[in-house]
Amino acid sequence: MESRTRIELPSQVRRPFEVYVNGVLQAEGTDYESIGSTLLFPRRLTREGKIGFWRWAMLFLGVAGTYKQNDAITVVFTADGRRQVANLAAPAPEPLGDER
């Protein structure tokens, strides 16, 4: 399994910009690299996938919770003289078992 994460920036994002993961400011060169329109993180970032029937049923009945990794990537930049925010999606994990 790859331990790096590659995320494409939206076309309107131009330098300078700030990158946040789960609300924490990231330092370029340490926490991520910017290569063209791509952000490359040296760690695995992911979002919670679809919840399968059995997981949903257990949540509904209060038997279990959902504690999957769900990273939020936010890029703050300036466009047309205004501060803009782009919320980016981390890659979804591959479905396993009843999670399809």
Write down the pLDDT at residue 47: 73
Residue 30 lies in a domain: yes
| Mean predicted confidence (pLDDT) in 66-94 | 86
Q: What CATH number should be reported for the domain holding residue 25?
A: 2.60.40
Based on the structure, what is the number of domains in the chain? 1
Q: Which domain holds residue 74?
A: 5-92
Residue 52 lies in a domain: yes
Residue 98 lies in a domain: no
Could you tell me if 13 and 74 are in contact, meaning their C-beta atoms sit under 8 angstroms apart?
A: no
Q: How far apart are CA 87 and CA 52, in angstroms?
A: 25
What does the angle CA 26 – CA 67 – CA 53 come to, to the nearest 5 degrees? Answer: 130
Residue 97 lies in a domain: no
Residue 55 lies in a domain: yes
What does the pLDDT look like over 16-29, one tens digit per residue? 999 999 999 999 99
Residue 100 lies in a domain: no
What does the angle CA 64 – CA 67 – CA 71 come to, to the nearest 5 degrees? Answer: 155
Please state, rounded to an integer, the average pLDDT across all residues of the chain. Answer: 83
